[in-house]
Amino acid sequence: MAFPLPPRTIPQCSACLRSYAYAWATLSDTSASQNALRQQTRGKKTSAKASGTVPARLLKDLPGFGKAGSIVPVTRGELRNHWLPKRIAAYVTLIEQRQLRRDNIQIVRDYNFGKKDDLAAAAVAEPAQTSEPTLVYEQKAPEVEKLTAQRSMDLLDIFVPHRLDFYREPIMEEEKLEEPEAAAEKKEDKQQRSASSAASDLLAARSSIAREKPKPKMTGAIYGSVSPHDILLAVRAATATNDEAARVVIAESDIQFLDPQAQSENKIKSIGDFTIELNIKGAEEGIRRNVRVMPQESSREPAG
């Protein structure tokens, strides 16, 4: 009968060889004998996972853990870095740990330690605090005396200048020059010369008179306009120099144009002097001021 093991798996030790032969002879089942004689294979050793906490003996009362002398679990880093330097706790020896396991004593922390006393003290102190009324002081904004309409008009009359100047860019147009033929004809009519002398004068005028570039002429109109909002800003800038005058409340509706053209459009669109009236609602009589619109140097090139 052939030996059930391959030659390369036969052990060289005589003691091992005798044990293999005995097992092969005693076992009747071929599959069982092969499993019994098969070489044992050791698996990878697995070490028990180290616990994340270690037992520590508290040296002083610690809220959320326990009183002094208690053994509580704590992380290794917390014990090593904080509790040991501050003398809050100390290590528990291996002998003490074995004794705790024999006595079946669980190592747990008291989460409510130190908190119940605080709640009880707060409950006792609460009636004492509520026995006396709590005074609440509200900070009020300082009251500013509102100016009357007549006082506002008096302040406007004092601080608003009698003339408000505005600068706007005028609209320019080119001036048309008179043609040499027309100038010659006028000269002929005035001097009552003959046709021959007029023809000679015309030729002389054409040869001597140089054409001049037309000059721009001011039309009186302006780019943009002067609106009640512009006048309101000028009035506020004038009253801002005084603390009391700065409290005057005036709106665009309190500004009225007295000139017909500006009154119809509710704005000024030409150069010149105009009259406005400032009248706050509730005042007996308004005040009049002059608005002057003056030309500003034009930055536009005339079309030509």
Query: Does the pLDDT value for residue 288 go beyond 70?
Result: yes
Identify which has the larger pLDDT, 89 or 199.
89
Q: pTM to 2 decimals? A: 0.43
Identify which has the larger pLDDT, 193 or 265.
265
Other Cβ atoms closer than 10 A to 164 = 19
| Residue 165, pLDDT score | 92
Q: In terms of DSSP bridges, do strands 163-168 and 287-295 run parallel, antiparallel, or are they unpaired?
A: parallel
CA 105, 109, 111, 113 dihedral sign is positive
Ramachandran bin of 210, using left for φ above 0, alpha for ψ from -120 to 50, beta for the remaining angles:
beta
| Residue 296, pLDDT score | 83
Residues 6+ positions from 240 with CB-CB distance below 8 Å: 246
| Domains, in order of start, for the chain | 53-103 (3.40.5.10), 149-171+219-295 (3.10.430.100)
In total, the chain counts a number of residues equal to: 304
**Residues of the chain above pLDDT 70, percent:** 59
Residue 19 burial by CB count (10 A; 0-12/13-18/19+): exposed, middle or buried? middle
| Residue 43, pLDDT score | 55
| Residue 25, pLDDT score | 64
Would you say 293 and 166 are in contact if contact means Cβ atoms under 8 Å apart?
Answer: yes
Residues 6+ positions from 164 with CB-CB distance below 8 Å: 231, 234, 235, 289, 290, 291, 292
Q: How far apart are CA 248 and CA 280, in angstroms?
A: 10
Which tens digits make up the pLDDT trace of 174-215? 765 555 555 555 555 555 555 556 666 666 666 655 555 566
Q: Could you tell me the pLDDT band of residue 304, with boundaries at 50, 70 and 90?
A: very low
| Residue 221, pLDDT score | 84
